[in-house]
Every structure is written in structure tokens, then in C-alpha cells.
Structure 1
Amino acid sequence: MMHKGRMEAFSDGVFAIIITIMVLELKVPHGGDDLKALIPVIPVFISYILSFIYVGIYWNNHHHMLQAAKSVNGRILWANLHLLFWLSLIPFVTAWMGENHFSQWPIALYGFIMVMNAFAYSLLSNSLIKHEGENSNLSKAIGIGSKGMISVALYLTAIALSMVNSWISFALYVLVAIIWFIPDSRIEKGLAEEK
């Protein structure tokens, strides 16, 4: 068994770098000093807002999940790196989607990256539950979450619809973000009951 502190610190650093990379993609317009000069960067800014919310949701849930865990092992470290890998691709797909005004292939790839993030997060949570035990507070707190399954179904639908109408796909990504925007309180309640 290993202490979870180093994994948490490393993960927090990666989350911070991901957000930094995304904000660096917001370029200052050089077409003037009036509000019209901002119009060309609106799609990039909108995609940044959506992705910032997603990264924030993952950071928030990652933090709560690790607060409930007592320790980690090698399998958990690799599962965490797997999640961080997929999260680290969010700046790339965010920039591509925004710069191409939410066209079909960038928005489809965005959905694929979101599916892989969801899968990686699920793998991490399952690894933590297996390590902590089926009767642990973490296992009881996480349980079987329907939000995760609904999210993946919406992502897959958005990917399929991206070839028909990319704006519907974008709306589905916004819907998933809204579903997750309110933090999952199951872990907080489980930790409060433990005290």
C-alpha cells in the first residue's frame, strides 16, 4: 500500500497544466481594438468555456473520490495516468473544434475524447473500489452511477449526429456538462457518515 498524497499532487499539477494550455490557445485578436475584433475568436472562446467546465468537473470528482480513498497501489497509479492521458488531449480537441467553428470531424473527435475520459475515470474508480474493498465507504458512496452511463450514451449519440448536424452534437456535450455541473454528493455524504 502506498500513500495517495503524491498521486493527488501530481494529478492536481496535470489538471492545472491542462487548463493553462487551453487558455494559451485564446489568442488576442489583431484586427482592431473594438468589440468587432472579438467576433472571430468567439467559437474558440465558447469551446474553451465548455472544456474548462469539463476539466473542472473531472478535477472536482477526482478530488472527492481520492478523499474517500485511504491508499493507492500500482494498478491505481496506472489507472490514474490513463485518465490523465485522455484529459491531456482535451486542449487539442478544444482548439481544433473552436478554430473550425464546430465542424463535423472536430466535434466528433471531441466526443471520442470525452468517451475515453469517461471510460478512464470509470476504470480509476473501479480500481479504487477493488483496492478499498466492496464494503468500503468509497464503494458505498460511488455505487452504480447512472449519470456516467447516461453521459456515455449522450457522447456516442453526439458522435453519430456530428455527421448530420454538429450543433446538435455540441448541444449534447453542453447537456452532459450541465448534468455533471452539480458535484456528485454521494462521496461527501459517505465521508460525513464515516466521521
Structure 2
Amino acid sequence: MKANRMEAFSDGVWAIIITIMVLEFKLPEGHDWQSLTALGPKFLSYIFSFVYVGLYWNNHHHLLHMVRTINGRLMWLNLLLLFWLTFVPFTTAWMGESHFAATPTALYGIVLLLAATSYWLLQRAIIKQHPTDSTFVSSMGNDWKVKLSPVLYLTAVLTAYLSPWVSGSFFVLVAAIWFFPDKRIEHALRKSDYNQTKP
């Protein structure tokens, strides 16, 4: 099986996650702008989660370009990542409904932490498919974003019981460092194409 089949399945799951999140919105009882103000926390939690789902989709797309062969290990690790991401709509709705109460915000961080760990495991499995002296392995060897993200998520979970705004700032920080896809993967792909076309 080629990687594009696993990617297509993953894309479908991400589309469903976003659809479920937007369906959580209920129509306001009133018909004025003030009625929408009450939905502010839900809108904010939705924006948070939409960005995160988009970040995972974007970086996952880049990562799968480096897959050489699909095996059972990769399929299960990919499913593990999708499993944790399917909890995002639930935690998003609970966090927005509770106006960012401590426990819903902490649970949101735990889900993101587990998703980040699953992404790291998937990335490591893909790296092991390449020779140790390959461009991809050397470029991905010191992945500070993958190592820093769990620390920031754990900090967000702990600070949720001190202040939801402090906790939220760590979520924003993680999103900021992952906003642009990993250029090292693009560099490795370009170098690989160059080496293959050399006479």
C-alpha cells in the first residue's frame, strides 16, 4: 500500500473532526449582536482547535512525503495519532461551554499532549525507514519543536488550575512554533530529487 492511501484516510478523519466542531455551535436565542457575545468562549475554543487541526494536517502531509514503505507499525501509529485528535471536538466543546474552566482546559491540554506524543512516535518510525546517513535522518535528528511541544503542553495542563489565560498562552505558543511546515523535510526532498537527477 502506498502512503497516499493512508494520507487520504487521514484527510477524511480531519475533515470529520472539523465538521463535528462546527456542528457544536447552536443558534443564539436572540437576533442581535449581543446574542453572539455569549458565544464568545465557544468561538475562541473553536478557533484554537481549528488552527491545531490545520497544523497537524499540514505537518502530517509533509511528513508522509518521507514514507518509503507502508507497514503495520506505521498504520497503527497513524491511527493512534488520529485517535487522540478525534477527542479534540469533545474537549473543544467542553472548554468553550465552561468558559475555559480549569479541568476542561487541562483535559484539552492532555489530549494535545497525547496527540503530540503520537506524532513523535510516527515521525520516529518513518525516520527508521531511512539510512542513518540520509539527508532526511540528518535533518530531522535535532527536532527541537517535537521535543519542546510536550513540555509546553504539560505546562499548559498544570497552569490551567492557576489561570486559564496563562494556560491558553502556552497553547498559542505551541501553535506559533508549528505554524509553518517543517522546511527541513522540503529541503531533504529537494536534495533527494537533485541526487536522483544527477548524471
Question: TM-score interval w.r.t. the shorter chain?
Answer: over 0.9
Per-residue CA distance 1:97-128 (angstroms, 9 max, x = gap): 01100010000001100110110000101111
Task: Determine the C-alpha separation between the residues in 1 that align with 2:151 and 2:60.
Answer: 21
Choose which of 83, 89, 104 in structure 2 pairs with 1:91: 89
Aligned mates of 2:90, 2:123 — CA distance in 1: 25
In structure 2, relative to structure 1, the CA distance for the partners of 1:97 and 1:152 (3 Å cut) is same
Q: Which residue of 1 aligns with 2:197?
A: none
Residue of structure 1 in register with 2:156 after alignment: 158
RMSD after superposition: 1.3
Which residue, out of 42, 65, 71, partners 2:40? 42
The residue matched to 2:110 in structure 1 has which SS? helix
Superposition map of 1:7-156 within 5 A: 7-30=6-29, 32-156=30-154
In structure 1, distance between residues paired with 2:46 and 2:135: 35
Per-residue CA deviations over 1:159-179 (Å, capped at 9, x if unaligned) read 111111121101111111111
- Which deviations, in whole Å up to 9, do the C-alpha atoms of 1:66-104 show, x marking residues without a partner? 112222111000000000000111111111101100010
Unaligned runs of 5+ in 1: none
CA distance in 1, matches of 2:5, 2:94: 33
- Aligned partners of 1:60 and 1:136: how far apart in 2? 23
Greater shift, 151-160 or 110-119, is seen at 151-160
Secondary structure of 1:45's counterpart equals: helix
Q: CA, structure 1 residues 107+145, in 2 after alignment: closer, same or farther (shift >3 Å)?
A: same
* SS of residue paired to 1:132: coil
Match of 1:175 among 166, 169, 173: 173
The structural deviation recorded for 1:137 is: 4.1
Bigger shift: 177-186 or 107-116? 177-186
Gaps of 5+ in 2: 194-199
What percentage of residue pairs aligned between the two structures are identical? 51
Q: TM-score, normalised by structure 1?
A: 0.94
Equivalent pairs counted in the alignment come to 193
**Residue identity matched to 2:52:** Y
Verify the 8 A CA contact 1:65 1:138 in the aligned structure 2.
Answer: no
Query: Is the 8 Å Cα contact of residues 116 and 150 (structure 2) preserved in structure 1?
Result: yes
Equivalent residue, structure 1, for 2:196: none
Q: Deviations over 1:121-161 (max 9, x none)?
A: 00101111113343344323422211122211111111111
TM-score (norm 2): 0.92
Which amino acid letter does the alignment assign opposite residue 128 of structure 1? I
Counterpart among 173, 182, 187 of residue 185 in structure 2: 187
Q: Judge conservation of contact 1:96–1:106 (CA < 8 Å) in 2.
A: yes
Distance 1:8 1:40 in 2: 38
